Amino acid sequence: MTTRPELRDTSGLLPAVAAVGLFVVMVLAFVGSPIGPATGFPANAETVNESLGDASLQEDASIVEENGSTLAVVQREGGNESTRLANETGVNATIVASGGQLYGVVSEPVSITASIGYAMFGLSDQAPDAVPAENFLALFEMIAVVLVAALIGAVMLARREEAGTVVSLFSTTDDESGATVAADGGSESDEFDGGDA
């Protein structure tokens, strides 16, 4: 009798229709639900915010870098008034008018990864401009215990003592028969070679 390729028996796939049905129900629920636009993460966080005076001065205000520092300069009738924003140059400084007042603002990008790291160890209050998150220190410790338990469980389940040698975590002891360790997944061992690999 010749052999030929055959289609896989698809009779066992009937329960998958339930999964497809669940997918349809979920998609209908999601598409019909009124979820607003995403808030998103802040791109920048203010590190310096200096008041410069009334918002009507916006036309006369500018950012100036000189002598290794960043200044907000407002040109007034009696002369220029400069406010030091940062003791370095090359920072992201802008003039912002808000609520009738003018501000010199220095901002720097917020690091999402750093914020996750702070949240993981419950240090968010020590981060200067962390994105809000809850304290995960207790969960961190719990997961650490679970991972250790999983490691011990995996070693316990994988250890085998039937075919010749007792293999445990830190010691290997030969038994009297002198047969070798079978690493073939548990087939019958004979007297000389362990399992029939």
Partner 1 sequence: MAVDVTYYLVLSAGLFCIGLAGILTRKNALMFLMSVELMLNAANINFVAFSLQWGNLTGQTFALFTMALAAAEVAIGIGIILVLYRNFDDVDVTDATSMRW
Where along the sequence are the contacts to partner 1 (CB under 8 A)? 12-13, 15-16, 18-20, 22-23, 26-27, 30-31, 33, 35, 37-42, 112, 115-116, 119-120, 130-134, 136, 139-140, 143, 146-147, 149-151, 153-158, 160, 185-187
Written as six digits, the tokens of 189 are 């061992």
Cα separation, 65 vs 85, whole angstroms = 10
CB 51 within 8 A of CB 102: yes
CB of 165 to partner 1, least distance (A): 15
Under a CB-based contact definition with an 8 Å cutoff, are residues 192 and 178 in contact?
no
| φ, ψ for residue 41, nearest 5 deg | -95, 150
CA distance to 92, 118, 148, per residue, from 62 (Å):
13, 36, 58
Closer to partner 1 by Cβ: residue 1 or 158: 158
Between 15 and 100, whose beta carbon lies closer to partner 1?
15
**Least separation, in Å, of the C-beta of 183 and partner 1?**
12
CB of 107 to partner 1, least distance (A): 17
- Tokens for 60, please give them: 């006369």
Output the smallest distance, CB 121 to partner 1, in A.
Answer: 10
What's the closest the beta carbon of residue 169 comes to partner 1, in angstroms? 14
Nearer to partner 1, 1 or 13 (CB): 13
- The radius of gyration of the chain from alpha carbons, rounded to an integer in Å, stands at 34
Contact between 44 and 92 (Cβ < 8 Å): yes
